[in-house]
Amino acid sequence: MNFNKHSNFNGLHAFLGASKYHWINYDENKVAESYSKFLATQKGTVLHEFAAQCITLGQKLPKSHKTLNMYVNDAIGYKMTPEQILYFSENCFGTADAISFRNGLLRIHDLKTGVIPAHMEQLEIYVALFCLEYKIKPMDIEMELRLYQNDEILYHKPTAPDIVPIIDKIITFDKIINKIKEQES
């Protein structure tokens, strides 16, 4: 048998695909809810790309209390770098939405486009990764973290006692994972 060629779908996965088979147990309401979440995730990705472009180009948005506008304008105002990868190892890295380090102040902002409440722990992990990658002790710097979500800005000023345990876990867990990798190879 000669199978049909569908080369334009290579590497892609359909929403109702076999690899995400749980949908066979959904009712009509659940599939509609699940697909709506999928679309929201896609929209969030596009909004992050748009925001990063605005920040890179220095293109402010109209002043308003809308999440995206506040996020973009603040990041431009603080001369932040968008979408910066912070790397400790292949086991532990992440991308900060916007970051700057100037005059001993580490600033990290995160844009949240979903409705699920965000958690500041994600930004604290970025701080830990920053400190590890650039060999900076958290007790030697000031930190300001901001979450932009639902037309609000949540502020957090962590201290070294907030960040040091995260750094320690990253180092310890990375060693455990590397040891397992060595045993598997």
pLDDT tens figures, 12-39: 788 888 888 899 999 999 999 999 988 9
HEC secondary structure over 99-118: EEEECCEEEEEEECCCCCCC
DSSP 169: H
- Pairing between strand 142-149 and 105-111? parallel
Report the mean per-residue pLDDT for the chain.
Answer: 94
Q: Examine the pLDDT at 85 and tell me if it is beyond 90.
A: yes
pLDDT at 155: 97
The pair of three-digit structure tokens given for residue 123, joined into one six-digit string: 């930004």
Cα atoms in the 13 Å half-sphere on the side-chain side of 80: 31
The residues spanned by each domain of the chain are 49-184
- Stated length of the chain: 185
